[in-house]
A and B are shown apart, each in its own frame.
Chain A
Amino acid sequence: MQSREIIMRIAAGIAVAVVATGALAAGGGTLNDPQETYTSNWNAATNDGVIASVTVQFVSYELNSVAGKYKLIPVLLRAGTRSAPLSLALEQDRLVVSSGGNTIAASFQLSALDRTLWDSLSPDTKRRLTYPEHLSPNSAMMVYAFVPLGDLKGPIEGFEYTIKSLPAPLLLQPERKKKAAALAGDTSV
């Protein structure tokens, strides 16, 4: 009799837990962190499996800047299966930002833009911001670009990342729009 009561209580506890979990999971809304990812995923095949992407968190992007002069653009660069490492060249690679209908050149070398600011950074930060020379196959790394704040006059529309050793520039477009376009394409069929 007593064991039956214990079993009943355990069963009731499990039922309450399941209902509570379901109720929490059923909560609506989105996280208050609007963001957009720009990626070159769509034309990776033409670029030897190299993909670049930039995720912009709009709140921090709007409010933060580097010394009040530059926007920091962190670019995630990924290399797929390749026969050789991807060569990167600081002097020859280019990143262009499309913003408000204009194209603005970004720089991978903060020391060339603002030496005083660069010299004030810690050695570790300098090391992390240093543009790499190569990217091994099947690996990824962040490269950092800087855009003069005064040149950015509107929302970001996309990026064009030219890597000298690749046959064509990497065109980074918003992922959300691509998905929406893909969905629209699916429903029309």
Chain B
Amino acid sequence: MIGELWRVLLDYLKRTPYWPVLEPLLLVGFLYIGVCIVSYQYLQWRYQVTLDLPLFLQSYLLRQVSVGFAAVVGVFIALTAGRAAKAQAQPPAPGAAAAVQGTPPVGRGRRLGSDWVGRIGLVLLIGAMALYLLQVWTPEFKVSPIRVRFAAFGTFAAAAPHADQDRGLAKATADYQRLREITQYLLFEINHRQRAWQLEFETSPFRSDLVSRADEDRCTEDDTPPLCIAEAFHTAMIKAHGAHPPFVLITAEPLGGGGTRAWFWLNRGPVSVVTTSDWGGPGSAGSIEYLAYALVVQSVMIHMQAHCGLAQPPTGAPEGVVVGNVFDLQPGIDAMRAAVLTGHFSRDDERRLLNCFGPEYMRTAVSLSGLDWLRSASVRDTLRKVYAVELLGS
């Protein structure tokens, strides 16, 4: 039916006086659509990613394909434009032919040479512009690993515990140690299941004296001491070694924040701090899902700031309105629990991930934040048998 309609339309167009102009335009249009369809299918085949149409239309891939196609068409035009007209001008009139024959061959050759120099110059210009745009729009395929480290229990405690709190403290410490062991296993699982980024686990505990006395004193006065100390440590490590991967510090104590109170996690540039305190402590139900979710979100947050030109952590819905996207500010444990159970990125965030890091990273981030890997039978069995842990909703 559509083919029949198309044939009728073409027959009509062929009969119009505009056909000589329309024909090349239609040809180029069909070729362009064909190239776009092939690139879309390549994406599916290469990365096992099926993008919905709006996302594909806003993707770096369509932009790159369009630029590449335009460059090829431009080069073709640059090399062929005007040559057909010249060819039609042959054979010249007898008088003109005599005149042409009368011109010296050196002058003709020079004209021909300057014509080709102009065309090649145009080809080079088109090629340079296309390469520049392709390079600008190429996603960052290689992102830095993220170092994860646990702070020693009580590192950021406001005051030493009383003697009657001792028993509770011993249990909380044991829970925290167990959470550290399990987290190490989960990081290895994440690394095993994808190659978009690596999570490194630092085995020695983090203590506040790892930064200088001056930094420690300054951070004690800070609104959010754990983030301040983590940043000071990261800066010191870069100064000492020249480079240090971005890192996520996990602590059992609250993050501070004064009157506004910082919940769950804080991030600034390459450093994040995650607390188990706001989830109800390291031994509370679901703390493993929470921590796995937090580590994935912080990793993406750090990478996005490093490579997507963001000056501050990405934010989701406005404060007080949440739909469960990973970058929403989740007010309180109920909203956070719901977000952890249904972790997902918004359409805008998916587009940003695709254009900043490419399809593989986007697929990995979406898949890891959903925690399906954590709830898979093999991981759940390991957690139950080796660590005696039941996941939320199991």
Write the residues of chain A forming the contact surface with B, with a CB cutoff of 8 angstroms. 84-85, 87, 89-91, 109, 111-112, 115-116, 118-119, 122-123, 126-128, 130, 132-134, 136, 165
CB pair B152–A123 under 8 Å, yes or no, is: no
How far is the CB of A182 from the nearest CB of chain B, in Å?
A: 37
B78 contacts the other chain (CB 8 A):
no
* A-B CB contacts (within 8 Å), total count: 48
Rounded to whole Å, the gap between the CB of B316 and the closest CB of chain A is 35
From known contacts A85-B181, A134-B177, infer whether A109 and B153 are also in contact, taking CB-CB under 8 Å: no
Q: Which residues of chain A are near B212, meaning CB under 8 Å?
A: 119
CA distance in complex: A85, B170 (Å): 13
Which residues of chain A have C-beta atoms less than 8 A from B241's C-beta?
123
- Decide: B209 and A123 in contact? CB cutoff 8 A: no
Known A-B contacts A85-B177, A123-B237, A123-B241; A133 and B205 likewise in contact (beta carbons under 8 Å): yes
Residues B173 and A130 in contact, CB atoms below 8 Å apart: no
Q: Is the CB of A130 within 8 A of B207?
A: yes
Given known pairs A109-B209, A122-B240, the reply for A130 and B204 (CB within 8 Å) is: yes
Q: Does B236 contact A (CB under 8 A)?
A: yes
Q: Which residues of B contact A123 (CB under 8 A)?
A: 210, 236-237, 240-241
State the B residues within 8 Å of A (CB). 152-154, 160, 170, 173-174, 177, 180-181, 204-205, 207, 209-210, 212-213, 236-237, 240-241
Please give, as numbers and ranges, the residues of chain B lying within 8 Å of A119 by CB-CB distance: 212-213
Q: Measured between C-beta atoms, what is the minimum distance from A123 to chain B in Å? A: 5
Known contacts A123-B237, A133-B153: A111-B209 contact under CB 8 Å = yes
For B170, the chain A residues whose CB sits under 8 A away are 87, 165
Closest residue of chain A to B203 (Cβ to Cβ) is: A132
Provide the bound-state CA to CA distance between A132 and B205, in Å.
Answer: 6
> A127 and B153: CB pair below 8 A?
no
Residues of chain B lying within 8 A (CB to CB) of residue A132: 204-205
Contacts of B209 in A (CB 8 A): 109, 111-112, 115, 118, 126
Can you pick out 8 interface pairs between chain A and chain B where the beta carbons lie within 8 Å of each other?
A89-B173, A112-B209, A118-B209, A122-B240, A123-B210, A130-B210, A133-B153, A136-B181
Residue in contact with B174 in the complex, picked from A84, A90, A91, A126, CB distance below 8 Å: A84
A128 to B204, CA, bound (A): 8
> Within the assembled complex, what's the spacing in Å between the Cα atoms of A126 and B240?
12
Q: Which 3 A-B pairs have CB atoms at the shortest separation, nearest pair first?
A: A111-B209, A119-B212, A134-B177
CB atoms of A133 and B152 under 8 A apart: yes
Shortest beta-carbon distance from B162 to chain A in Å: 14
- Evaluate whether A130 and B177 lie within 8 angstroms (CB atoms) in the complex, with A122-B240, A123-B241 already known: no
Closest Cβ neighbor of A128 among chain B residues: B204
- In Å, the complex CA distance between A89 and B210 comes to 17
Chain B residues within 8 Å of A133, by CB: 152-153, 173, 177, 180, 205
Question: Bound state CA distance, A112 and B209, in angstroms?
Answer: 9
Residue of A nearest to B154 (CB): A91
B210 — which chain A residues lie within 8 A by C-beta? 123, 126-127, 130
A89: chain B residues at CB < 8 Å are: 173
Residue from B160, B173, B205, B236 in contact with A87 in the complex, judged by beta carbons closer than 8 Å? B173
Residues of B within 8 A of A115 (CB): 209, 213
- Assuming the contacts A85-B181, A87-B174, A87-B177, asked whether A130 and B205 have C-beta atoms less than 8 A apart, the reply is yes
CB distance from B248 to the nearest CB of A (A): 17
Residues of B within 8 A of A87 (CB): 170, 173-174, 177
A134–B207 CA distance with the chains assembled, in angstroms: 14
Q: How far is the CB of B78 from chain A (nearest CB, A)?
A: 58
